[in-house]
Amino acid sequence: MTGSIAAIGMGLAAIGAGIGVGSIGGKAMEAIARQPEALGDIRANMILTAALVEGAALIAIIMAFLVK
Amino acid sequence: MKELRSLVAIFYLIPALVLVAGFPVSMAAQEHSTTSQETSHTMGEGTHADSTAAGHEGEMHGDTSHEAHACHFHGDVEETEYDATSTAFHHISDANVYSIGSFNFPLPCILYAKGHGWDVFSSGKFNFDFFGHGEGRSAYNGYVLDAGAVKRIQDASFPSGSVALEGFVHEHKMVDGENKEISYACYQGQHYLLESQSTADGGLFGGGITSFYDFSLTKNVVTMLLIAMLLAFAFFSIAKAYKTRDSMAPKGLQSFIEPIFLFIQDEVAKPFLGPKWEKFLPLLLSLFFFILGLNLFGQIPFLGGSNVTGNLGFTAVLALITFIVVTINGNKHYWSHIVWMPGVPAIIKILILTPVEILGMFIKPFTLMLRLFANITAGHIVVMAFVGLIFMFGKLGESLAGGVVGAVVSIPLTIFIMAIELLVAFIQAYVFTLLTASYIGAATEEHHHAEKH
């Protein structure tokens, strides 16, 4: 067994971000199905929110690199 | 025409951004106060025995234990194993050399040490290798280039001028419970202690505080200047086009920039900033285009691969600008919500709300800084990891078939990741601008807006 516990933290953060981005994407799909004419707005907001959630995971990854 | 005026205002901000951002990236060193390095030791061969145990602490380089005490240049040692981590970190870090493909362009080094004075010379004096960002084979005026950074030999007995070195020694030691790398330069059989790199991230990643200041024009600073000049050129020509081609359809570069410009104005500035959007539009646009330009430039392979927006010092300054703008423009209503939130019992305000709100003031720009840094750095590391698959499979040229398999696996993955990174470059510039707009908007909105929440 080599490596550090930081890698586990990184994985946990990835799980969290995965759930977050998945739910954002799913809800956006539902919204688009309901109101196809609002596609542009929904897509822009979806990407923005996904980027914010992804940022949390990336911060965790950087922390994992640094803490190691 | 009003839009035109704010477009021109970008040019005043971009050089300011470069100036403000450029210096902390290459300097940010403080007078060193620790006594441990005050007396520069000339390390003899005898003291090596007790540091052997410490040498094993270095898990990052598994083979340090037998290599640690031999003076050598990294370039002279035949590598037996591909070290993905150090290769990736080497590629995302700053350098004193600008490499385009296999051509290395030396950059000016501007150094200052108290009692020693200014030193201005080309980094070519370090006599670096073909893939030269790593090490210099010569010392110049007591400065050496080691592991991609300018370091200083504090020992006064070290000769000044150009001196040929015999190699470097890196050791891992436990200092205050932290695993630290200590470097020595070898000259005439003696080991001279090297001070750490003098940069903002040098300090953050365990470099520590040094006795010299490094104002060198590094790769990142040069890239920043280049992008600022490109943007200035592009925007001046566009601004001129609006004058000469008034009420005509946009043409060329103008038609590329105009939708982006209008997007930032209509989707970011107006909804978030309310009636004051015009005042902050130049700031938002210069942030957006500067970050976007640097993000995209960093994605171009073989062209330096500079990672400016993936540099913590750079993003810290951008976030600092946001913080200063928000703090200066915050109105009475904003401050009352931070310090003394109306309509909440006093005990809760003192115990929870005010401390949390004051912390939040600093956490907002902090996350702004980390988000941009982490996204861009992670993108560069992932690309390096996929390219590294070729060398891993091919065992550094030992096995040709493995290299071919690695290339077949790695090239589509790399192209895929770089396509995503192109998207991320736009999204992160947009997110940074949008969050800046929302923080400024929250600080400047009038009272009647706030009663909704």
Percent of chain B with pLDDT over 90: 11
CA B374 to CA B311: how far, in whole Å? 9
Task: Kindly determine whether residue A62 and residue B373, on different chains, have CB atoms separated by under 8 Å.
Answer: yes
Residues in contact with B416: Cβ distance below 8 Å, sequence separation at least 6, in sequence order: none
Task: Specify the higher pLDDT residue, B145 or B431.
Answer: B431
What DSSP assignment string belongs to B248-277?
A: S---THHHHHHHHHHHIIIIIIHHHHGGGH
Would the CA dihedral through B95, B96, B100, B104 be positive or negative? negative
Structure tokens at B273: 């900033």
Measured in angstroms, the CA of B431 and the nearest CA of chain A are apart by 7
- Give the residue on B whose Cα is nearest the Cα of A3: B59
The verdict on B430 touching A (C-beta cutoff 8 Å) is: yes
The phi and psi torsions of B72 (rounded to 5 degrees) equal -160, 165
Which of B371, B424, B431 minimises the CB distance to A59?
B371
pLDDT score of B354: 87
pLDDT score of B77: 64
Among B64, B36, B83, CA closest to B171 = B64
What is the maximal distance between C-alpha atoms in chain B?
Answer: 81
Residues in contact with B23: Cβ distance below 8 Å, sequence separation at least 6, in sequence order: B215
H helical segments located in B56-169:
64-67, 84-92
CA B135 to CA B145: how far, in whole Å? 5
- Give the residue on B whose Cα is nearest the Cα of A60: B374
Among the listed ranges A13-17, B245-249, B421-425, which one has the minimum average pLDDT value?
B245-249
pLDDT average, residue stretch A19-39: 93
pLDDT score of B60: 38
H helical segments located in chain A:
6-34, 39-67
Chain A residues with CB under 8 Å of B428 CB are 51
Residues in contact with B101: Cβ distance below 8 Å, sequence separation at least 6, in sequence order: B302
Number of neighbouring beta carbons within 10 Å of residue B253:
14
Chain A residues with CB under 8 Å of B429 CB are none
Number of neighbouring beta carbons within 10 Å of residue B416:
11
Task: Specify the higher pLDDT residue, B190 or B272.
Answer: B272
Mutate which: B91, B368, B375, vs A, most A CBs within 10 A: B375
pLDDT of B6 above 60: no
- Domain ranges across chain A: 6-67
3-state SS class at B95: coil
pLDDT score of B267: 84
Task: Kindly determine whether residue B427 and residue A52, on different chains, have CB atoms separated by under 8 Å.
Answer: no
CA B305 vs CA A53, B64, B197, B294: distances in Å: 27, 29, 21, 11
Mutate which: A24, A62, A63, A68, vs B, most B CBs within 10 A: A62
Measured in angstroms, the CA of B387 and the nearest CA of chain A are apart by 19
B5 residue type, one letter: R
Which of A52, A54, A59 minimises the CB distance to B370?
A59
Task: Specify the higher pLDDT residue, B93 or B283.
Answer: B283
pLDDT of B339 above 60: yes
Say if residues B425 and B288 touch (Cβ distance below 8 Å). Answer: no
Q: What angle do CA B351, B352, B354 make, to 5 degrees?
A: 95
Q: How far apart are the first and last CA of chain A?
A: 15
The verdict on B377 touching A (C-beta cutoff 8 Å) is: yes
User: How do B108-113 and B212-214 pair as beta strands?
Assistant: antiparallel
CA B3 vs CA B8, B247, B269, B287, B444: distances in Å: 9, 14, 12, 17, 21
Would the CA dihedral through A30, A12, B89, B431 be positive or negative? positive
Question: What burial class does residue B135 get, using C-beta atoms within 10 Å of its C-beta: 0-12 exposed, 13-18 middle, 19+ buried?
Answer: buried
User: Which H or E run contains B146?
Assistant: strand B143-146
pLDDT of B287 above 70: yes
pLDDT average, residue stretch B361-386: 87
Give me the CATH code for the A6-67 domain, please.
1.20.20.10
pLDDT score of B293: 92
Average pLDDT, chain B: 74
- Domain ranges across chain B: 2-16+222-450, 29-214
Among the listed ranges B98-102, B326-330, B446-450, which one has the minimum average pLDDT value?
B446-450
